[in-house]
Structure 1
């Protein structure tokens, strides 16, 4: 696996140094043509400066690359990110209550995957595989089958943030408001889930 994760403020606290690292990362993406067929390039492309199509301009048309993503229930994802951000001291949650944070970055998933209401189905269909975090074992089974590989015997679980208490602290109004503000994310998630379930044997 080759990592392609952008710099962040936890490592580079000085803003000038962070911007320098951003520019290095932005201007020197990996050359996809040099990657061996068995190499997995892994990264997060949620920062608007480093969207997948900005980093690799022909990525969605490149037939030699197999795009793989995993999506998660949008609210569960936000709760996990909030808890993770607070634990690590990230700027994106600094000074924000959970209620305030849930009002930020509406349709985060759609922005990250560069989806619109008009193209989200074709965008997801363009991926070699879209897994579901809540259906992790089944997702890995189907991905293994598509790759012609044996299913792993023991599935590792890392970076877990049990967010049940955060969910229980939300009011019905807050949950409904989040769902209303993230309609596109839920359409994407539901579409990916339906595709996965349609292949369950």
Structure 2
């Protein structure tokens, strides 16, 4: 690669996000394995609870007019309602009301949304596992892992394009990356405490 190519990659927000959160991706995989999500329906139910809490955190950020202006298709995103329906199927009722993103501002909020949107790609594998191990599906206990109606790749590509075409300053890009790291940290904390979640 030459220096001009390096510069383009450095300036590309999605490329930076992928690079600067790669260790967090790896950490989430380790935490998922340690959680034994598919070892029992109880473990799976606790994982679904963590999904619900994280989605509530992310969807709180949708209320910001700046987020709404930048991402006009928010109505097809977000999975807290699907997770809540899954929890009802699994006889689990969320007890917590805390929203971890109460103080998060734009554009840091976009980093949290990046974590959520990126997780929809990995959810394809989780959805297959839930089907294979427990017989769960898009109508029972695995709604929150199902693909968007348009397909995972289409919606993810549209989100990536939106961020890359937003013309953020370096400081704003840094804020988005900070948000992504904090989003990963939040979900990691939920996974680490999976057995104690209520």
TM-score, length of structure 1 as denominator length = 0.26
Pair member with larger Rg: 1
Q: Which structure features the higher share of helix residues?
A: 2
